[in-house]
């Protein structure tokens, strides 16, 4: 069963796992993430999208990638987020790092 992605323009195109891998590979450049981990991430994204909707939006694809990258590598996550979320200044990175730190470190008492 083909999986169709609805772009922001409203156009539909078939889900392309290779596009996900290419985006993740760019974010993971010079990071300790193997090709197998990138392929596994892309497969996990595809599987979760298939389970949720027959026609996910491109935004849903991006969020699914971000969620998995966050668990895989913080730097790759920030790189991907900077493109996906359209960071325009250093403050955008600071805000995202704050959110990343807040969600990954437990509170100390």
Is 23 domain-assigned? yes
Are 77 and 69 a contacting pair, CB within 8 Å? yes
According to the model, what pLDDT value does residue 89 have?
Answer: 79
According to the model, what pLDDT value does residue 109 have?
Answer: 54
Are 61 and 49 a contacting pair, CB within 8 Å? yes
Is 88 domain-assigned? yes
Q: Which residues of the chain have pLDDT under 50?
A: 105, 107
Specify the pairing of strand 12-14 against strand 4-6.
antiparallel
Is 54 domain-assigned? yes
Which residue segment(s) compose the domain that 78 sits in? 4-104
According to the model, what pLDDT value does residue 1 have?
Answer: 78
Tell me the pLDDT tens digit for each residue of 32-62: 999 999 999 999 999 999 888 879 998 899 8
**Rounded distance between C-alpha atoms, residue 42 and residue 24, angstroms:** 8
Both tokens of 27, joined, read 């974010």
Is 77 domain-assigned? yes
Are 27 and 69 a contacting pair, CB within 8 Å? yes
Is 59 domain-assigned? yes
Is 109 domain-assigned? no
Query: Number of structural domains, the chain?
Result: 1
According to the model, what pLDDT value does residue 38 have?
Answer: 96
Beta-carbon neighbour count of residue 80 at 10 Å?
22
H-run or E-run covering 80? helix 74-84
Is 38 domain-assigned? yes
């Amino acid at each position: 069963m083909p999986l169709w992605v609805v772009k922001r323009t409203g156009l539909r195109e078939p889900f392309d796992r290779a596009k996900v891998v290419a985006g993740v590979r760019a974010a993971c450049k010079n990071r300790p993430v193997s090709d197998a981990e990138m392929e596994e991430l892309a497969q996990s994204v595809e599987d979760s999208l298939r389970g949720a909707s027959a026609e996910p939006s491109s935004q849903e694809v991006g969020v699914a990638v971000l969620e998995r990258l966050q668990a895989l590598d913080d730097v790759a996550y920030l790189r991907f987020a900077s493109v996906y979320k359209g960071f325009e200044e250093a403050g955008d990175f600071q805000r995202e790092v704050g959110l990343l730190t807040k969600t990954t470190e437990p509170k100390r008492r």
